[in-house]
Each structure stands twice: as C-alpha cells, then as structure tokens.
Amino acid sequence: MEALPKQSIVAVIGSGAMGAGIAQVAASAGHQVLLFDTRPDAADKAIAGIKATYAKLVDKGRMGAAEADLAGERLTRIGSLQEASQAALVVEAIVENLDAKRALFTELEGIVVEDCILATNTSSISVTAIAAPLRHPERLVGMHFFNPVPLMALVEVISGIATDKTVADVTYATAQAWGKNPVHAKSTPGFIVNRVARPYYAESLRLLLEQAGDPATIDAILRDCGGFRMGPFELMDLIGHDVNFSVTNSVYDAYFGDPRFTPSILQQELVNAGFLGRKTGRGFYRYGEGVEKPAV
Ligand code: NAI
C-alpha cells in the first residue's frame, strides 16, 4: 500500500506536546502541515518550538539549513477547522476525552473531503467508540505516536471494528514514510503499549505509597539496573499526569473495574493539585532553571 503523497496536506488538531511533535515529523517528511488549537496561542507556540528544534538540529549538523527553512515554511497555524477542508489526513491530538474527540470528528466530517483519513492519537480510548457517531466510521483510525514524537519510532496503527483495511494500510505506510516503525493493533483497551505499561506505573505507585523507596530511587533502579529507558516516575512526569490518569481510568473502566487497573489516589492528587509533570514545572520532580529534584 502506498503512503500519502508528499504533496498531501496534513492537519494536526491540538497543538500541545503531541500535536507539535506530530506536526514536526509530518513537515520534515515534506507535507504542508496545518495546526489548529482552541487555545489562541498554542499553535503559534508549537510552530515556534518546532523551528527552534530545527535550528538546534542545524547547529548540530543533523539537518541542512535550507532543509530546515523549507520544513519550517511548511507549518501554518489555522484559526478555524474550516481551513482544514483540503487535508488528506487529519491527526487529532486534543484532550483525552471521548465526548470531545467525538464532537471534533463529527464536526470535521462536515468539512473535509470524502477520502480524507481521520486519525486519532488517543492513548487509550476505544477507536471503535470514537468513530461510532460518524456517518463514515470506516475512515477513522488510531495513529498513536509516543512521546517525544520526533524521537520515538513506534506508531500503533489501531483499527476499530468499522475501520476500513485500506485506511489502516495507508496510515501504516504513511507512518513508515515519516521514518517511523508502525505496528497494526486492534482497538482493545490501552492497545498494546499503554496496556502493558499500566502495571509498570501501578506497582511503582504502590511502592511509593508503601514508602519502599522515593521516586528517584525507584527510577534509578528500573532505569539503571532494570534496563528501562526511563524510570516510571520520570516517565509519568514526561507524559503528564492529566493524560496518564485519564489513560488509567479509561483502561480500568474498559475492563469493567478490574482491580488490576485501579487508578492510584496519588495520581488523582497530583491532578487535583495541578502538578501535571514537566509541562507545569512540577510532578514527582521539580523542573526549570536546571532544577530537577524530588517534589513529592
Ligand atoms: P496537551 O495537553 O499537551 O495538548 C492538548 C492540546 O489540545 C492543548 O493545547 C489544548 O488546548 C488542545 N485542545 C483541547 N481540546 C481541543 C479541541 N476541542 N480542539 C482543538 N484543540 C483542543 O496533551 P498531549 O500530551 O499533547 O495529548 C494529546 C493527545 O495525545 C491525548 O489524546 C493523549 O492521550 C494523546 N497522547 C499523549 C501522549 C503523552 O505522552 N502525553 C502519548 C501518546 C498519546
């Protein structure tokens, strides 16, 4: 199956951590990329951040200056969804909430061209459920990137019950053309990675609540001795506790309250406090001005 041609327009809806990363990768691959966000300055900030990243890559000799300029010029903020009408692929990276995602795709269905692929970057919500209210649920697919998107090769291409096989195959080929290593997965709770990651976080949170060790100690053991790329607490801080708590809740609910997936009170409290991790400067650790030390 062929990937979407480079001249196809890609729209990214939601310009937070994931949307910015997806936009960067799509622009680097040669697409015109439109970024939309309901927060007024989010898309502009994302574009500025991507251009700063390109400039760093040029400084390090990992990207040509002309290539960086061209990729930067391919990024455009749009002020309304209507401006995404000519997109061949829309990737949604908004808040992890079923009703919000359904509302967005229902609106997009009335705007985009007939063969536009609608992709959701959801971490855990059923792709089947997101697609259910659409007139054409067969064109909705999961395109689940990992954080940070430019560095993480894996993309889960998730088919819901109604997803057309060609749509999944084109999405898979497009992820490959963007330099990623995609895998096909079915719309099962948490898909593959977020499902097996739940016990990694849950047991670590239990260890912390039982005062077996502090976050830095548990992180160091799992990272430096256990062979994981990141310890559980630094990884949760990177993901964002709002996102990670939503994922835990959604897997728990999807398995009808299976105690294996019970969310942690500590996650709930971090969200209550607004200590969402790196993006707010505080989670299990504190961030900013070179500080990185345990906060809870
Ligand atoms: P974020 O909070 O950094 O960004 C979300 C953005 O969406 C915000 O800028 C917000 O203003 C915007 N937004 C919210 N509702 C909107 C709407 N209706 N229309 C347009 N924009 C809207 O969140 P993040 O981390 O980028 O996550 C986005 C999605 O990606 C979620 O579904 C999350 O589960 C998923 N995801 C997150 C990962 C992570 O490690 N943070 C990893 C993989 C997937």
Which tens digit of pLDDT belongs to each residue from 217-252?
999 999 999 999 999 999 999 999 999 999 999 999
Domains of the chain: 9-186 (3.40.50.720), 194-290 (1.10.1040.50)
**Is the minimum distance from the CB of 18 to ligand 1 under 6 angstroms?**
yes
Pocket test for ligand 1, best of 18, 195, 238 (most atoms within 8 A of CB): 18
Q: Give the tens place of pLDDT for each residue, 98-148.
A: 999 999 999 999 999 999 999 999 999 999 999 999 999 999 999 999 999
**Is the minimum distance from the CB of 248 to ligand 1 under 6 angstroms?**
no
Pairing of strands 181-186, 140-145: unpaired
Q: Is the ipTM of this complex over 0.95?
A: yes
pLDDT tier for residue 288 given thresholds of 50, 70 and 90 = confident
Mean pLDDT value across the chain: 96
CA 191 and chain centroid, separation: 13
What amino acid is encoded at 190 in this protein? G
Residues facing residue 9 across a β-bridge = 32
Distance 236 CA to ligand 1 centre (A): 15
Query: What length does the chain have?
Result: 296
pLDDT tier for residue 155 given thresholds of 50, 70 and 90 = very high
Residue with CA at minimum distance from ligand 1 atom 4: 16
pLDDT tier for residue 5 given thresholds of 50, 70 and 90 = very high
Are the CB atoms for 87 and 34 separated by under 8 Å? yes
